[in-house]
Amino acid sequence: MSVYTLVTADDLAAWLTRYALGTVHAFEPIAAGIENTNFFLTTAKGRYVLTLYERLPPEELPFYLNLMAHLARSGVMAPAPEPDRTGALWSFLNGKPAGLVARLEGAPVAHPNAAHCAAVGDALGKLHLAAKQYRGRLTNRRGPGWWRQAARAVRPLLSAEQNALVAAELKYQAGFAKTKLPRGAIHGDLFCDNVLFVDGRVSGIIDFGFAATDTLAYDLAITVNDWCVPRDGDFTGALDADCASALIGAYAAVRPLTFEERALWGPLLRAAALRFWLSRLYDLHLPRQGELTHTHDPAAFEQILRHRVAHEPRFPDL
């Protein structure tokens, strides 16, 4: 959520004539994240997040926006898109596809405990159940094909040891390419900063910019790799067993995992670590120009991947 495209007060006023939102009270950029340009917008009608989609092709936007609308109608704590006067959920602003969604209450948790993890597991399970009824389909643009492309792009910038790790893991993951696991719409990026809490309960799941049709257990692995890895002290990348059991147990209580999903838990965690290590390397070394930019340190996910390879976790006994 960096700012790549500037929006002036005049730009905003002209664009908002499409909506019936009343007077603008506040408009400020959100200087966090890395994918899109985002602003907080407060009007006489309510509070919103304005997003200019920097990378998404316009033809893909209906998947994301209709998914959020579907989830919100289904009781999932997702931000509902705001339709304009014609019912459209997006239109162009300064040459970029743009839309408004409701701004949800709450704040992220920087250091989650087992109770937070259980709440997130429950929320993700409900998201996946609700998404089963969603008809939209979209190939994951950060899937294995992109992993290989990104690996080639960053290869000159890595050490021989790092390149060897990437190459070995790509080869390892290729062995699971034809594995058939339950699929559906996934969030694809359910990190701590994309979940809002109020009084210990999940009040919002935000930032659906990496949503896609993919393996549900892979989405769970992405979530566990972030929520259940302690950040205090010496960072080893190891999972906190209590947090992992709490998150996975709460998820499985909503959507029980199949035998195949449980058996492939280790490879799924490794795939999730590889994907985010490569993404962060790519964004760090091949950045886009932006007025405000924010990138994540790739070193954390390199360490997580190394730990998953050396100590491949088994699915916990619940």
Q: Tens digits of per-residue pLDDT, 228-271?
A: 999 887 899 999 999 999 999 999 999 999 999 999 999 999 99
Range of the domain at 140: 114-310
Residue 193 lies in a domain: yes
The answer on 97 and 139 residing in a single domain is no
Residue 272 has pLDDT above 50, yes or no: yes
Q: Which of 101, 135, 158 is the last residue of a domain?
A: 101
Q: Residue 36 carries which DSSP code?
A: S
In this predicted model, what pLDDT tens digit does every residue of 125-182 receive, in sequence order? Answer: 999 999 999 999 999 999 999 999 999 999 999 999 999 999 999 999 999 998 999 9
Identify whether the C-beta of residue 30 lies closer than 8 Å to the C-beta of residue 49.
Answer: yes
> What CATH code is carried by the domain that includes residue 23?
3.30.200.20
The answer on 146 and 68 residing in a single domain is no
The residues with which 198 forms a beta bridge, in sequence order, are: 201
Residue 139 lies in a domain: yes
Residue 217 lies in a domain: yes
How much is the pLDDT for 34? 64
The answer on 90 and 171 residing in a single domain is no
The answer on 125 and 84 residing in a single domain is no
Q: Which spans in 183-298 are helix H?
A: 216-227, 241-254, 259-263, 265-285
Q: State the distance between the two ends of the chain, measured CA to CA, in whole angstroms.
A: 37
Please name the residues in contact with 126: beta carbons below 8 A apart, sequence gap of 6 or more.
Answer: 75, 76, 254
Q: What is the mean pLDDT of the chain?
A: 94
Question: Quick one: angle between helices 265-285 and 160-174, nearest 10?
Answer: 140
The answer on 133 and 52 residing in a single domain is no
| Domains identified in the chain, total number | 2
Residue 3 has pLDDT above 80, yes or no: no
Residue 272 lies in a domain: yes
Residue 53: CB atoms within 10 Å: 23
The answer on 202 and 153 residing in a single domain is yes
Q: Distance (Å, rounded) from C-alpha 183 to C-alpha 96?
A: 31
Query: What's the length of the chain?
Result: 318
Question: Quick one: angle between helices 144-154 and 265-285, nearest 10?
Answer: 40
Predicted TM-score of the model (pTM): 0.95
Please name the residues in contact with 142: beta carbons below 8 A apart, sequence gap of 6 or more.
Answer: 188, 210, 212, 275, 279
Lookup: tokens for 40: 């907080």
Averaged pLDDT for residues 120-128: 98
Residue 315 lies in a domain: no
> What CATH code is carried by the domain that includes residue 146?
3.90.1200.10
Q: Is 202 helix (H, G, I), strand (E, B) or coil?
A: strand
Residue 74 has pLDDT above 80, yes or no: yes
Please name the residues in contact with 315: beta carbons below 8 A apart, sequence gap of 6 or more.
Answer: 248, 257, 261, 262, 263, 265
The answer on 255 and 161 residing in a single domain is yes
Please give the share of the chain, as a percent, with pLDDT higher than 70: 96
In this predicted model, what pLDDT tens digit does every residue of 201-218 receive, in sequence order? Answer: 999 999 999 999 999 999
The answer on 291 and 154 residing in a single domain is yes
Residue 122 lies in a domain: yes
Q: Distance (Å, rounded) from C-alpha 159 to C-alpha 156?
A: 8
How much is the pLDDT for 291? 47
How much is the pLDDT for 2? 63
